[in-house]
DNA sequence: ACGATCACG
DNA sequence: GACGTACGTGATCGTA
């Protein structure tokens, strides 16, 4: 048997502590020594050491530090690292503690005078790779990205990758490519051109990361780029390249890692075993890391646990871990209890200016708006609250006392003046604005002419961490009250306690200032506290990638789409409503006649009794509510068996649905100010990461039947414009083919084949209308997690026959069965599924003893990575779309709607030709560069004078 | 407030 | 031996 692969982790201790210092709160230990960064470092080592025995975890580990003093690079260039500022004074005493912490874990700690940590890491990494080991460099230093590689070793490929523990991100070839636009072997050349101000590597003045990447990618190397300079067309860039040649060559030497250092310690001595608890306990105790100490004692996720408490086990190492993660969370510095009396009401411009100044100094401020409506497109701004620290919060009333000119109004800052004062703060790049559901506030403030940025959103952070995590008894929502309850143990004042409910409800503008301040300032306070709890978890739990790269950038994009809205033709809808009403009345009469009595056709209860008791049709099945089922499958069966009433009811239902849900409701949804319909998208509505749409839902407008499609004809562009609809074609099946690595399907997609026809050929040997339809059903069944009974009922065959088809499918596409098996194993062990972009969905019931519950989770878990990856891809496309169009000068293309695999745009007719290829490209390439798919993404685009015509 | 039904991907 | 059968949503209606 081959020996298990060795995996060396090299921890770049020095760079970690700098970053930890800035990211973590300034804790001090019982002796008064600052230990915030050390605490961060300790938890990181803890996690790494506890990963021993995990797949891809370390078998060997060493910490590499910078020795103090000068390195050989200073002999080459005396200015090297010369302008680096002194480290902050409360960081200095923490440097030696890094060594103490490392020793406490009984881990090797290596530093060599005259060598930098990077050079030692490079040498050790290459040496281990030569011996066929995998290597993970724990650092985020971009210089080290030069080392990322994979070579053929004695027993298979040996790779060097990186792990950024702050962002909890693996860095591998795609990440390097994304950052530098070139492979690792050329990273040094890019760095040499761009320089590094922190290390005082000169680079070439005036060339930054973008230009450097572009030059190296174009010419293939630094030397080639420099050589090509004299031939370039006259430009600033050309001059700089020629004049800066010397600087660039020197920089290249400085950034090149020394890979042939003398090694002070052989690799074998880095072998990682269970951590002896004694020295570690002493260290934790000395510095007052009591929560870690407790975990060490209880063995909960402890690096010492493996031998001390549990004998090594061969079976699933992660079993039963599902969902227990929250208990493993880092303790946070205590926050004071919520104190409503501490909140300020800001009633003068001077006081407001002071809060704004303090917010600027704090650089992070939680913001909340109070309005008159939940609909951001109708809401009037009533006040704004700010929070700078726990209990340090205020409320700024702007429109209390209502709009009645003569009413008695409380003293408050003039609304226009206050907003003018707030605007620079809210738009300041250097001040982070934290919201709970920021999309709402963004829209309210955008309507006041304020373009808030940059923002953070605790609701979205919560979703990216905990989607699906709700269990019985504990809600899984991401609303503020729920989050506050869950993470802060605090129940905020309820809106209805301030404004009342039902008929007696008052507008927030009528709430007395004292109550308004308590409520509003508390919301900002809670938001800030939630941010402090949730934000660090992103990095710890691997949520940074999806939050920073997908969901956070999407917030302003979706907000903008909501504000754009879409025009609907009211007259057309009204006409449809009327036609439907006539037809519904006629059908109702016929149904009553067929039934021999009047009854409420819309009542499934009454209908069931008429059909099965009075008229005596057979096959009535009662559900658990004791009521006959009368859904479409039942009525269709009855209609097929010659029951005229069933067909009439089906028609009646179709038209009632269309009228009440669409033609009537859409007219009512037209915004009187804009004349357009503005849906609201939820970024946290669907567990898989999809958006959902409400008020009205524009993601379920009819399309499948001709009669329903008439409603789509009422969605229209402004005069002179057209609607453009761009759809991903079969995206989920394509992703399944990629993720399950099914060659036959991948080839079919690569050749642009009809995928259902192809499936029919594989399964039934021939393509007919019937076999293709069956194949299509089976393809979807696979995506949704199949059962013989479910498939049987859809195909109207016996379960045995359905099972035979499933077997055939798995035989023809063996990757699918393996994918399903591996996905479920992983979800059972970890508790969550993951998309290609790292989005997690939790399945707390995956190991349930209740079979139905468990099987339901299993089906959802099979589907979630596929549906979720598709959602990630279109989200990335959306975030890039308007910038890409703008870059081509297309500023008048509006992105209006998203329907899961479709984007709808409105644009002047004469822009269609220019916009189409850009939209197609952005969508088709949306996975890149983070993920390279082995199937192409097809995009179908159409245009027309209605949404229907655009398809 | 909840279940049944049906609109969408 | 019983369970309850395709994934993910939201709106509307009737009924409790």
Residue of least CA–C1' distance to C14:
A603
Q: pLDDT digits over A433-479, tens only?
A: 999 999 999 999 999 999 999 999 999 999 999 999 876 545 678 99
Domain that holds residue A102: 7-173+257-270
Same domain, A431 and A545: yes
Of all nucleotides, the one whose C1′ comes closest to residue A901's CA is: B9
Rounded to an integer, what distance in angstroms lies between the CA atom of residue A11 and that of residue A60? 11
pLDDT at res. A312 = 32
- A658 beta carbon to strand B: under 7 Å: yes
What is the spatial distance, in angstroms and rounded to an integer, between the CA atom of A729 and the C1' atom of C7? 18
Q: Is A350 in the same domain as A490?
A: yes
Q: What is the CA A794 to C1' C6 distance in angstroms? A: 9
CA atoms within 13 A on the CB side of A167: 17
Burial track A886-911 (b if 16+ CB lie within 10 A, e otherwise): eeeebeebbbbbbbbbbbbbbbeeeb
Nucleic strand B near CB of residue A700 (< 7 Å): yes
A79 touches strand B (CB under 7 A): no
For residue A25, what pLDDT is reported?
A: 67
Q: Is residue A854 domain-resident?
A: yes
Do A531 and A658 have their domain in common?
no
d(CA A309, CA A327): 19
Cα angle at A808 between A805 and A812, to 5 degrees? 140
Q: Residue A864 CA to C7 C1' — how many Å?
A: 8
What tokens appear for A423 in the block? 């605007």
- pLDDT for residue A513 is more than 80: yes
C-alpha A761/C-alpha A752 separation (Å) is 15
pLDDT tens digits for range A67-106: 766 677 877 777 777 666 677 777 888 888 888 899 889 8
Measured from the CB, is A701 under 7 Å from any atom of strand B? yes
A888 touches strand B (CB under 7 A): no
Closest alpha carbon to C1' of C11, residue: A661
- Is the pLDDT at A316 greater than 60, yes or no? no
A108-125 mean pLDDT: 90
Residue of A821, A798, A801, A817 whose CA lies nearest to A809: A817
Assess whether A899 (CB) lies less than 7 A from strand B.
Answer: yes
Q: What is the DSSP string of A144-180?
A: GGGG-EEEEETTEEEEEEEEETTTTEEE-HHHHHHHH
Closest nucleotide (C1' vs CA) to A628 is B4
CATH code (residue A667):
1.20.1060.10
Give yes or no: residues A626 and A519 share one domain: no
A window 845-874: Cβ near strand B (< 7 A): 867
A323 pLDDT more than 50: no
Q: Are residues A492 and A582 in the same domain?
A: no
pLDDT at A298: 73
The 3-state DSSP class for residue A477 equals coil
Looking at residues A246-275, what average pLDDT do you find?
89
- Distance B5 C1' – A602 CA (angstroms): 10
- CA-to-CA distance for A367 and A432, rounded, in angstroms? 10
- Cα distances (angstroms) measured from residue A15 to each of A37, A406, A574: 11, 63, 66
Q: Are residues A368 and A463 in the same domain?
A: yes
Is the per-residue pLDDT at A370 higher than 90? yes
> Domain for residue A184, yes or no?
no
Helix axes A277-286, A290-298, angle to 10 degrees: 160
Rounded, the Å distance between the CA of A379 and C1' of B9 is 31
Specify whether the CB–CB gap between A65 and A11 falls below 8 A: no
Residue closest to C3 C1′ by Cα: A852
Pairwise CA distance, residues A140 & A163, whole Å? 7
pLDDT surpassing 60 at residue A327: no
A483-497, pLDDT tens digit by residue?
A: 998 899 888 998 988
Closest CA to B5 C1' — which residue?
A631
Question: Are residue A442 and residue A425 in the same domain, yes or no?
Answer: yes
Compute the distance between CA of residue A727 and CA of residue A738 in angstroms, rounded to an integer.
19
**CB < 7 Å to strand B — which of 575-634 in chain A?**
604, 608, 623-625, 627, 629-632
Q: Which residues pair with A693 in a beta bridge?
A: A681
- C-alpha A310/C-alpha A251 separation (Å) is 52
Please say if the pLDDT value at position A698 is more than 90: yes
Task: Report pTM.
Answer: 0.68
Does residue A686 have a pLDDT over 80?
yes
Of A303, A281, A280, A391, the C-alpha closest to A340 is A391
Please report whether residue A663 resides in a domain: yes
- Give how far Cα A495 sits from Cα of A214, A491, A516, A520, Å: 53, 12, 10, 10
User: Do residues A542 and A574 both lie within one domain?
Assistant: no
C1’ B1 / CA A718, Å: 42
Question: Within a 13 Å sphere around the CA of A306, how many CA atoms are in the beta-carbon half?
Answer: 18
Provide the positions of strand B that have an atom within 7 A of a protein CB: 3-9
What is the band of A681 on the pLDDT scale with cuts at 50, 70, 90?
Answer: very high
The mean per-residue pLDDT over the stretch A613-618 comes to 86
Peptide bond preceding A40: is omega within 30 degrees of 0, i.e. cis?
Answer: no
Same-domain check for residues A533 and A672:
no
Instruction: Identify, with chain letter, the residue nearest to nucleotide B7 (CA–C1').
Output: A700
Residue A881 lies in a domain: no
What is the model's pLDDT at position A313? 32
Domain boundary (A270, A297, A312) is at: A270
- Do A125 and A148 contact (CB within 8 A), yes or no? no
User: Is the domain of A574 the same as that of A478?
Assistant: no
Q: Is the CB of A657 under 7 A from strand B?
A: yes
Give the orientation angle of helix A769-784 with respect to helix A788-795, to 10 degrees.
150
Angstrom distance, A843 CA to C7 C1':
14
Is the Cβ atom of A803 within 7 Å of strand B at any atom? no
CATH of the domain at A737: 1.10.150.20
pLDDT band (50, 70, 90) for residue A285: confident
* The predicted structure's pLDDT at residue A474: 57
Q: Which residue is nearest to nucleotide B2 (CA to C1')?
A: A625
What six digits make up the tokens of A867? 């549906």
Q: What average pLDDT score do residues A739-748 get?
A: 94
Bond before A498 cis per omega within 30 degrees: no
Distance in angstroms, CA of A847 to C1' of C2? 19
In a domain, A334, yes or no: no
Q: What is the 8-class DSSP label of residue A509?
A: G
Nucleotide nearest A728, CA–C1', reads B9
- Res A317 pLDDT > 50: no
Percent of chain A with pLDDT over 90: 56
pLDDT tier at A300 (50, 70, 90 boundaries)?
low
pLDDT tier at A3 (50, 70, 90 boundaries)?
low
Nearest nt to the CA of A635 via C1' is B5
Whole-number Cα distances in Å, A547 to A182, A539, A554, A681: 25, 10, 9, 17
Question: What is the number of other CB atoms lying within 10 angstroms of the CB of residue A151?
Answer: 12
Q: Is A599 found in the same domain as A527? A: no
Percent of chain A with pLDDT over 70: 93
Domain count, chain A: 4
Nearest residue for C5, CA–C1' = A790
What is the CA A790 to C1' C4 distance in angstroms? 10
Domain assignment of residue A805, yes or no: yes
Q: Which nucleotides on chain C have any atom < 7 A from a protein Cβ?
A: 2-16
**Mean pLDDT, all residues of chain A:** 88
In the sheet that A676-677 helps form, which strands lie side by side, from edge to edge? Answer: A676-677, A566-568, A715-716
**Could you give the CA distance from residue A929 to residue A427 in angstroms, rounded to a whole number?**
30
CB A487 within 8 A of CB A533: yes
Beta strands, E only, A346-406: 364-371, 381-389, 392-397
What is the distance between the terminal CA atoms of chain A, rounded to a whole angstrom?
58
What is the structure's pLDDT at A785?
86
Name the nt closest to A697 by C-alpha to C1'.
Answer: C10
How many alpha carbons lie under 13 Å from residue A160 in its C-beta half-sphere?
Answer: 24
**Distance (Å) of CA A59 to CA A5, A147, A149, A548, A844:** 8, 20, 19, 31, 31
- Nearest nucleotide, CA A791 to C1': C6
Q: Is residue A328 part of a domain?
A: no
Residue–nucleotide distance: A626 CA to C15 C1' (Å): 13
Q: Measure, in angstroms, how far nucleotide C2 C1' is from residue A843 CA.
A: 24
The helix/strand/coil state of A693 is strand
Task: Evaluate if the CB of A511 falls below 7 Å from strand B.
Answer: no
* Model confidence at A712: pLDDT above 90: yes
Between CA A540 and CA A105 the distance in angstroms is 20
DSSP A196: B
C1' of C7 to CA of A537 (Å): 29
A757 and A841 within one domain: yes
**Which residue among A534, A564, A594 closes a domain?**
A564
Rounded CA–C1' distance between A609 and C14, in angstroms: 15
Mean pLDDT to the nearest integer, A376-403: 93
Comparing every residue's Cα with the C1' atom of nucleotide C9, the nearest one is: A692
- End of a domain among A270, A291, A322? A270
> A482 CA to C15 C1', in Å?
30
Residue A927 belongs to a domain: no
Query: Which range among A194-208, A610-624, A715-729 has the greatest average pLDDT?
Result: A715-729
The pLDDT assigned to A330 comes to 39
Nucleotide nearest to A874 (CA to C1'): B9
Angle at A68 between CA A64 and CA A70, to 5 degrees: 110
């Amino acid at each position: 048997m081959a020996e298990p692969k060795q995996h060396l982790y090299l921890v770049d201790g020095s760079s970690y502590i700098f970053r930890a210092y800035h990211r973590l709160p300034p804790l001090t230990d019982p002796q008064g020594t600052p230990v915030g960064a050390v605490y961060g470092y300790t938890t990181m080592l803890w996690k790494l050491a506890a990963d021993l025995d995990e797949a891809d975890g370390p078998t060997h580990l060493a910490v590499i530090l910078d020795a103090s003093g000068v390195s050989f690079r200073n002999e080459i260039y005396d200015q090297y690292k010369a302008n680096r500022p002194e480290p902050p004074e409360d960081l200095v005493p923490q440097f030696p503690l890094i060594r103490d912490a490392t020793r406490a874990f009984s881990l090797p700690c290596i530093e060599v005078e005259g060598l930098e940590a990077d050079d030692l890491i490079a040498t050790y990494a290459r040496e281990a790779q030569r011996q066929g080991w995998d290597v993970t460099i724990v650092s985020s230093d971009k210089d080290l990205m030069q080392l990322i590689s994979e070579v053929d070793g004695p027993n298979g490929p040996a790779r060097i990758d990186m792990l950024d523990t702050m962002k909890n991100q693996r860095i591998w070839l795609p990440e390097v490519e994304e950052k530098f636009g070139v492979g690792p072997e050329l990273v040094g050349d890019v760095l040499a051109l761009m320089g590094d101000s922190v290390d005082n590597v000169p680079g070439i003045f005036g060339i930054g990361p973008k230009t450097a990447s572009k030059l190296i990618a174009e010419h293939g190397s630094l030397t080639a780029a420099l050589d090509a300079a004299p031939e370039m067309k006259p430009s600033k860039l050309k001059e700089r390249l020629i004049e800066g040649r010397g600087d660039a060559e020197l920089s290249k030497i400085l950034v090149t890692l020394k890979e042939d250092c003398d090694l002070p310690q052989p690799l074998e001595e880095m072998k990682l075993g269970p951590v002896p608890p004694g020295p570690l306990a002493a260290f934790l105790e000395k510095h007052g890391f009591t929560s870690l100490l407790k975990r060490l004692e209880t063995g909960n996720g402890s690096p010492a646990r493996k031998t001390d408490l549990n004998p090594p086990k061969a079976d699933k190492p992660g079993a039963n871990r599902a969902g227990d993660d929250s208990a493993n969370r880092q303790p946070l510095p205590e926050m004071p209890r919520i104190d409503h009396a501490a909140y300020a009401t800001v009633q003068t411009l001077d006081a407001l200016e002071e809060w704004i100044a303090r917010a600027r100094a704090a650089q992070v401020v939680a913001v909340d708006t109070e309005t008159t409506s939940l609909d951001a497109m109708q809401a009037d701004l009533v006040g704004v609250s700010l929070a700078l620290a726990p209990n340090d919060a205020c409320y700024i009333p702007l429109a209390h006392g209502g709009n009645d000119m003569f009413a008695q109004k409380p003293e408050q800052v003039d609304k226009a003046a206050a907003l003018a004062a707030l605007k620079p703060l809210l738009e300041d790049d250097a001040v982070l604005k934290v919201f709970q559901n920021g999309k709402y506030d963004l829209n309210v403030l955008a309507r006041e002419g304020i373009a808030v940025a940059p923002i953070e959103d605790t609701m979205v952070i919560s979703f990216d961490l905990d989607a699906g995590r709700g269990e019985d008894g504990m809600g899984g929502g991401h609303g503020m009250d729920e989050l506050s309850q869950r993470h802060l143990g605090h129940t905020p004042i309820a809106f209805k306690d301030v404004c009342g409910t039902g008929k007696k409800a008052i507008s927030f503008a009528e709430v007395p200032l004292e109550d308004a301040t308590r409520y509003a300032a508390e919301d900002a306070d809670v938001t800030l506290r939630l941010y402090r709890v949730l934000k660090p978890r992103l990095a710890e739990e691997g949520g940074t990638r999806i939050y920073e790269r997908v969901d956070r950038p999407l917030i302003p994009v979706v907000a903008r789409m909501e504000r754009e809205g879409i025009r609907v033709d009211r007259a057309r809808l009204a006409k449809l409503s009327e036609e439907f009403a006539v037809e519904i009345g006629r059908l109702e009469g016929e149904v009553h006649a067929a039934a021999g009595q009047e009854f409420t056709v819309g009542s499934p209860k009454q209908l069931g009794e008429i059909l099965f008791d009075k008229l005596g049709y057979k096959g009535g099945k009662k559900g658990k509510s004791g009521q006959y089922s009368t859904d479409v499958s039942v009525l269709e069966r009855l209609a097929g068996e010659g029951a005229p009433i069933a067909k009439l009811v089906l028609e009646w239902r179709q038209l009632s649905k269309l009228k009440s849900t669409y033609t009537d409701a859409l007219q009512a949804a037209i915004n009187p100010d804009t004349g357009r319909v503005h849906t609201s998208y939820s970024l946290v509505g669907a567990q898989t990461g999809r958006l959902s749409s409400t008020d009205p839902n524009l993601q379920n407008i009819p399309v499948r039947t001709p009669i329903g499609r008439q409603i789509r004809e009422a969605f229209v562009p402004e005069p002179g414009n057209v609607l453009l609809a761009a759809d991903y074609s079969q995206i989920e099946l394509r992703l399944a083919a990629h993720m399950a690595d099914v060659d036959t399907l991948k080839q079919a997609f690569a050749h642009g084949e009809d995928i259902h026809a192809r499936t029919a050929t594989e399964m039934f040997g021939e393509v007919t209308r019937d076999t293709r339809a069956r194949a299509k059903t089976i393809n979807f069944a696979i995506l949704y997690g199949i059962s013989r009974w479910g498939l049987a009922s859809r195909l109207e065959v016996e379960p045995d026959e359905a099972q035979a088809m499933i077997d055939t499918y798995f035989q023809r596409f063996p990757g699918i069965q393996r994918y399903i098996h591996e996905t479920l194993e992983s979800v059972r062990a970890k508790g969550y599924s993951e998309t290609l972009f790292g989005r997690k969905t939790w399945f707390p019931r995956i190991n349930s003893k209740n079979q139905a519950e468990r099987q339901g989770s299993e089906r959802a878990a099979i589907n979630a990575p596929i549906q979720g990856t598709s959602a990630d891809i279109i989200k990335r496309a959306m975030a890039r779309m308007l910038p890409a169009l703008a870059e081509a000068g297309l500023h008048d293309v509006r992105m209006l709607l998203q329907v899961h695999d479709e984007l709808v745009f409105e644009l002047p007719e004469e822009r269609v030709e220019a916009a189409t290829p850009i939209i197609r490209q952005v969508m088709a390439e949306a996975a890149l560069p983070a993920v390279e798919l082995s199937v192409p993404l097809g995009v179908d685009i159409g245009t027309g004078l209605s949404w229907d015509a655009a398809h």
